[in-house]
Amino acid sequence: MKAEAKNTSYKKAARHAEFPPTARVKQEMIAWFWVVLVFLLVNGTIGQARVIPSGSMENTLLVGDHLIMSRIGYDAGVPFTPWHVSLWRNPRRQQMVIFRPPYGHNQPDLIKRVIGLPGETVDVRNGSVFINGRKLEEKYTTGPTELPERSEMLERFHGLPLTIPKDQYFVMGDNRGNSYDSRFWGCVPRDAIIGTPVTIYMSVDAPEDAWNGNIGDRFLAYAEAVIHPGRVRWKRLFETF
């Protein structure tokens, strides 16, 4: 028994001798390097998390819905930087897309629904959308579709009817009376589209302020959801698009 105990202690000592502290630290750093690299690859090319901060897509998406966004085929980039490249997939009509706003830098990403495709002529008449002169059937909207006043549009945008340029898309929110969309500022370039929502992984009933960049309000919203589980919209979890 004593001989076995001595052999065990010798083996442990030998292992420690083989892996001095500096080597173990190096090993840990290499392991964490691969963890970070995988995270960056997933975040930059496969998917990201998003939260809905406003009611422009109600009732399809509600304020406080937490989404998984797929970037596969749409966009690849370096996380936390403006560097990105568009990929091969193009959105379909009535598909929801997430994109960088074309009207200003440092604006948060938006989510809207694709209404018009490149080369088509889009117009709004009598509360409805028309594509190439034919009425578009829409069962997901809230309220009639109206045109904004000229004073509400960006100066460079001349309004509808509009023939959509090549590699650009006309988008609108589902909540037509509360959506700042292509009716106000024009089309979205294809290279501004970064992905499409896949599923809702969490939905918390909280005011818009909680999801508009205020960390304190967001923390309180999550705390309220933990203390009062009724704040979580359980039936919306894992809804797919």
Catalytic residue numbers, as ranges: 56, 112
**Separation between Cα atoms, residue 120 and residue 123, nearest integer Å:** 10
**Separation between Cα atoms, residue 46 and residue 190, nearest integer Å:** 18
| Backbone φ and ψ of 113, nearest 5° | -110, 135
Q: How many CB atoms lie within 10 A of CB 69?
A: 22
| Largest Cα span, the chain | 95
SS3 198: strand
Strands (DSSP E) contained in 28-157 are 47-51, 65-70, 75-77, 84-86, 96-99, 110-116, 121-125, 128-131, 134-135
**Separation between Cα atoms, residue 176 and residue 66, nearest integer Å:** 22
